[in-house]
Structure 1
Amino acid sequence: MHIDESSLEGTLGVLDKIIRVELGLTEDNIKKHGIILCAGDQLSKLLLDKVSAARQDDSDLVENVGRYTKGQDGVFHMKMAGDQMTTNEHWGQPNSKTLWSLWKVNTLLGRKVMVAGWKAKSLPPF
C-alpha cells in the first residue's frame, strides 16, 4: 500500500483499506469476528489509540475502530525488549556491586572495558 500511515488520517486510511477494501468486512462481519489484533511498533499502537479516541463517539461500528481493534506489540519489538532486559540483568551497570554482574567480574579480572553502541569512540580491539 502506498499510504503514509504515520499520521491519524494515514492510520485511518490503512485500516479502511485493509478492513473494507481488501477483506471486505461489513459491520455484521466485524460483529461475528470480534476483536482484530493490530500488531506493530509503539508508534503504530499510539496512532491506533489516538484514532480510537478520536472516533469513539461514532455510532457506525466500522468507523469506531476502538470497538473492534486492539493494539499489540509486534514480535520483533518483544524480542528486542527481551534482549535488552537480559543484557541489563546479566551485564549490569557500570561499577555495579552485584556479584553476578559481568561488569563486576570483568573489573575484578582486570579485563579491558568493553564499549559498544552509541557511546563508543572506536571499535573494540577484538
Structure 2
Amino acid sequence: MDVTAKPPTVKPPHADCRAVSEILSRVGDKWTIQVVVALRLGSRRFNGIKRHVGGISQQMLTRTLKTLERDGMVERTVHHSTPPQVEYTLTPLGHSLVETAHQLAHWAATHRLEIEDNRLQYDARSS
C-alpha cells in the first residue's frame, strides 16, 4: 500500500450551495438582468445598451459587461475601424438566462397583487 497517496478530495455539501448562491447574487443584482434583456434581440454597442438600461452609470455598465463576458454570457466583438467599434452579443448561455428571467418576471406579475396583499396584512398585524 502506498502511504504517500493522497486521500480523495471530498467536497463539503455546502460548497455547491455557496457556488450557486454566488451565481444567483450575480444574476439577481440590479443591472445584470436588465443588460441581458437589452441584448436579447441582438448585438448592441455600449451606448445602445446604456440607453436601453435607464439609470446605469458608465462605470457600472462596464463592470456588468465585463462580469457577463467573464461568466460566458456575453461576447464582446471589436470591429477594427476608425474609431474602433465594440459590440456585445448574448451567448447561448446568456440567452438561456433571458428565458429564465422571463419566467421569473411572469411569476412576479402573476403573484404581484397577492404579495402586495400579504404585505399589507403583515404590516397591519405588526403595527
Same fold (TM over 0.5): no
Greater C-alpha radius of gyration = 1
TM bucket by the smaller chain?
A: under 0.3
Higher helix residue share:
2
Which structure would you say has the larger RCO, counting Cα contacts within 8 Å and 6 or more residues apart? 2
